[in-house]
Amino acid sequence: MNGKTRSAPGLPGWAKTLMTLVLIVCVGALLWAQLPRGAFSTDLSRIGQGTPALVVARDKNYLAGAEVMDLLNRIRPDYKDKVEFLAVHLGHPDGQAFARRFGMVDATVILFSADGTPLAKFAIPQTTAQIRDALDAANIR
* pLDDT, tens digit (0-9, with 9 covering 90-100), for 113-139: 999 999 999 999 999 999 999 888 888
What is the C-alpha to C-alpha distance for residues 78 and 121, in angstroms, rounded to an integer? 20
Q: Domain limits at 72?
A: 44-137
CATH of residue 103's domain is 3.40.30.10
Phi and psi of 78, rounded to 5°? -75, -20
* pLDDT, tens digit (0-9, with 9 covering 90-100), for 91-108: 999 999 999 999 999 999
Does residue 102 form part of some domain?
Answer: yes
Does residue 76 form part of some domain?
Answer: yes
Does residue 5 form part of some domain?
Answer: no
Amino acid found at 86: L
β-bridge pairing 84-89 and 53-58: parallel
Does residue 6 form part of some domain?
Answer: no
Q: Into how many domains does the chain fold?
A: 1
DSSP string, 85-115: EEEEETTSHHHHHHHHHHT--TTEEEEE-TT
- CA–chain centroid gap for 19, Å, is 32
